[in-house]
Structure formats: C-alpha cells, structure tokens
Amino acid sequence: MCIQRNDYILVLMSKHMKVSILGIDGYIGWALALRLIGKGHQVVGVDSLYTRMRVKEVGSQSVTPIESMENRIKILREKTGENIEFFQGDVNDPEFMYSVVEKTKPDAFVHLAEQRSAPYSMIGLKQARETLMQNMGGTINLVYAMKDIVPDAHLLKLGTMGEYGTPNIDIPEGFFTIEYNGRKDTLPFPKFAGSWYHWSKVHDTNNLMFANRVWKLRITDVMQGVVYGTRIPEITDTGLFTRFDIDEVWGTALNRFCTQAVLGLPVTPYGKGDQRRGFLSLEDAVSCLMIGLEKPPEEGEYRVYNQFDQHYSVNELAGIVKERGEKVLGRDVHIERVENPRVEMDQHYYNPENKKLRNMGYVPVGDLRKDIDSILMDVDRFRERAEQVKNAIAPRTFWKKSVGLH
C-alpha cells in the first residue's frame, strides 16, 4: 500500500509507532526504549553488545549495574506486560541489516549503533579504522535497506555537536546562507571535528544528505551534545538501569567528574578547562528524541537540529561538581587541571543555535544542580563498582601518541 505524506503524518499521530532502536543496549538506547514502551509504542531492538565488550577491554564497567539484554527485556515484561523483539547482530553486516529490516518493517529507526567514544577512536590505527568503517558501514547498510524495503520510514540518526568543532563564528543548525563573490546560497555548515570518532559522524552526515537527495528518504540528523545523568522516571527498578560509564575512554566529562568526587579523586578539567560544549540530561536527550519521532520530517526531507540544553565550560562544570559534592557527600572535593590528552582548543568562542527543537515543543527539564546531586547519590550507592575500576579513570589516551601499525 502506498501512503501519501499527509496520511503518513496522520498514521503516526493516531496510532502507535513501531520503532527500531539500533543500539538498544547502550546508554541512550535503553532509556529511549523504556520511554517508547511507556508511551505505548512498539519497540524492536538491535545490538551487537559491542559497548559491553569494549568497555570490559579497557578494564572498566558501568557503575550502575546493568542486566543482560535478555533479563532487561524479561524485567520490563514483568513490569509493563510489554515485550521487545531483540536481534543480536552487527549493523555493519549488510545481510544481517537487510534481514532485520525485512522481518520487522518499522515506521521509524533510531540509529545509535555506532562506536561512540572519541578517545577509543584515537588509541591507534586499529581503533581509528574500526570506528570509521563500523560507523559508516552501519549507516550505509541502513539507508540501502530502508530504500529497498521501507522507503517511507523515518530515520532518526544520532550525530554529534562535535561535528562542527569550535569555529570562531556562531554555529547554525546544519545549514547556513552564505554570500561569496556576489552570489548567495544555503549550504551545509563547514565541519571541523576533533577526533576520528567525530569525523565518522561528519562522513555519516554527508552520506545521509546524499541518500536523501537520491532516494528522498525521510531523515533527521541530530547534532547532540554531551549527555549526563543516571536517571529517567521509567527507571523504577535496579534491573532497569541504563549503563553509566566513567573511565577515560567511555566516560564523558560530567559523569566522570561526579564519579571522581565520590571516589575522593581530583576532578580533572583537561588543559585550561575553558573548552565549552553543549550538555543535556539523559531525560532531555530522551524527550528530544521522542519529539523527533513523533514529529517526523516531511516526505523527502533531510533536517538537522542541534540537541542540547545549555553550554558550559568544563571548568564551570568542575566548579559546580565541587560545590554539590561537598554539600551532598559532606567532604572536600578537589579540582586538578591536568595535561590535555586531546588536541583541541581549550579557550574559544562558542555560540551554537538550538532553537529548532524548542520550536517543536522541547522544554528542558534538566536542572543541572539537582541532576548532579542525583548522579552523586547513585554513584555513591554503587561506589564499590566504581572503586573496582578506579585505575581506568585517569587519562592515558593521548591524541598525539595515537599508535600506528606497530
């Protein structure tokens, strides 16, 4: 049956969607699955369990205890009566991707199944190649499978604010209008990423724009900032926790800072600490993705939005973690600026726009100080698990020392 644009929107608004989450076992994937199920949508999950394996390899683990995928789904079924159809496999395998899309034919895909760590991609040639091939491979498989099997479905793809880098001018949402030699055009904003991981997302973006141009696929490319937090309201049971990484490879800034405070380690802004990034809570990340799904693009539309709540410098965040940590934990928290293992500007202009999601109805609920208190309390609760991987926290992946063939 061929459905027209307006019918398609009506179908999405009136019925519940079938959403395929590629990367359902991850930090955001699992939280999004809980939200979608809670709202009555049907969820299909795909994951190779790659992040679990790679985190283990660097001698780390999620500080929040996470169940096996099988148990997660079982617990969810017991609590809600709803099931998730789960396919374990690699989206970079075209046969696997086609067979899952053929079997499930979803209304929408949320593609989170990518290697998501900048430091991992900078360890050496092996990891750089893995990141580039894996991420671009999965995305190209997906757009082909969509075109051949479900050309009217919506792809919501997770990109990153890091695609833009830190230019000395304002950052628009994907495109800008520019005049050059007396002529004007609206063009993709130039990208200037800071790791092989971030570049892999830029390459994906280019490939998605092209897939949209030739096959008219409906695509949302989300430029997301750094996510923090352990909680969304749907996490009502220890068995439903999403992962929470804190090591130097897989952990992100604010989550690491909170863990350092709990463990009595110095909080570590890298370099001068004046580098700014857009941040958002896990709750806001999930609610933005829900808005993107429930308000899909026009037929044949490729749209981009910048997904973050506020931007902060890492020094500002370290200061707030110190203040909250001392209050919540009742002891001193020290800040120690350490040598920056990355090659990045640690003092720069930063003014990215983030109006589109707000115009679509996003009202941030993240309250930074309250969210930090809640992270501190959760990490303190699972302190023993954090202690077990204490040695994996200090930075040891240096961009300049990325290992070659030998």
Rounded CA separation 49/67 (Å):
12
Q: Is 285 in the site for ligand USQ (CB under 6 A)?
A: no
Selected binder of ligand USQ within 45, 138, 162, 172 (CB under 6 A): 162
Terminal Cα-to-Cα distance of the chain (whole angstroms): 56
Task: In angstroms, give the least distance from the CB of 41 to ligand USQ.
Answer: 25
Task: In angstroms, give the least distance from the CB of 314 to ligand USQ.
Answer: 4
Q: Is 278 in the site for ligand USQ (CB under 6 A)?
A: yes
Q: Is 117 in the site for ligand USQ (CB under 6 A)?
A: yes
Beta bridge partners, 276, equal: 313
Rounded CA separation 224/136 (Å):
18
Cα angle at 42 between 103 and 149, to 5 degrees?
Answer: 30
Q: Is 225 in the site for ligand USQ (CB under 6 A)?
A: yes
- Residue placing its CB nearer to ligand USQ in the complex, 106 or 251: 251
Selected binder of ligand USQ within 35, 52, 116, 218 (CB under 6 A): 116
Selected binder of ligand USQ within 20, 62, 141, 160 (CB under 6 A): 160
Task: In angstroms, give the least distance from the CB of 341 to ligand USQ.
Answer: 8
Q: Is 256 in the site for ligand USQ (CB under 6 A)?
A: yes
Selected binder of ligand USQ within 54, 111, 191, 277 (CB under 6 A): 277
| Strand order across the 276-281 sheet | 226-228, 276-281, 310-313
For 86, other C-beta atoms within 10 Å of its C-beta total: 18
Rounded CA separation 286/32 (Å):
6
Q: Which residue is nearest to ligand USQ (CB)?
A: 162
CA distances from 155 to 111, 144, 152 (A): 7, 12, 10
- Residue placing its CB nearer to ligand USQ in the complex, 99 or 207: 207
Contact call for residues 12 and 291 (beta carbons, < 8 A):
no
| b/e 302-325 (16+ beta carbons within 10 angstroms → b) | bbbbbbbbebbbbbbbbbbbbebb
Contact call for residues 265 and 390 (beta carbons, < 8 A):
yes
- Residue placing its CB nearer to ligand USQ in the complex, 345 or 377: 345
Residues 6+ apart with CB under 8 A from 369: 320, 324
Selected binder of ligand USQ within 252, 259, 306, 354 (CB under 6 A): 252
Six-digit token pair at 323? 């203040």
- Residue placing its CB nearer to ligand USQ in the complex, 215 or 398: 398
Stretch that binds ligand USQ, among 93-101, 125-133, 139-147, 269-277 (CB under 6 A): 269-277
Six-digit token pair at 212? 């949209």
Spot the catalytic one: 64, 104, 160, 259: 160
Rounded CA separation 190/62 (Å):
35
Residues in the chain: 406
Selected binder of ligand USQ within 76, 226, 235, 280 (CB under 6 A): 226
Q: Is 118 in the site for ligand USQ (CB under 6 A)?
A: yes
Spot the catalytic one: 201, 230, 350, 397: 201
Which position has the token pair 């068995």? 239
Q: Is 201 a catalytic residue?
A: yes
Task: In angstroms, give the least distance from the CB of 352 to ligand USQ.
Answer: 9
- Residue placing its CB nearer to ligand USQ in the complex, 45 or 159: 159
- Residue placing its CB nearer to ligand USQ in the complex, 60 or 160: 160
Six-digit token pair at 251? 């952990």
Q: Is 197 a catalytic residue?
A: yes
Q: What would the x/- binding string for ligand USQ be over residues 308 to 347, using CB under 6 A? A: ------x---------------------------x-x---
- Residue placing its CB nearer to ligand USQ in the complex, 296 or 341: 341
Residues 6+ apart with CB under 8 A from 289: 28, 32, 110, 156, 222
Which position has the token pair 């037929």? 299
Instruction: Find, among 259, 245, 298, 253, the residue nearest to 271 by Cα.
Output: 253
Q: Is 160 a catalytic residue?
A: yes
Spot the catalytic one: 8, 50, 197, 312: 197
- Residue placing its CB nearer to ligand USQ in the complex, 106 or 352: 352
Residues of this chain that interact with ligand USQ (CB under 6 A) are 116-118, 160-162, 224-226, 252-253, 256, 268-270, 275, 277-278, 314, 342, 344
Catalytic residues: 160, 197, 201
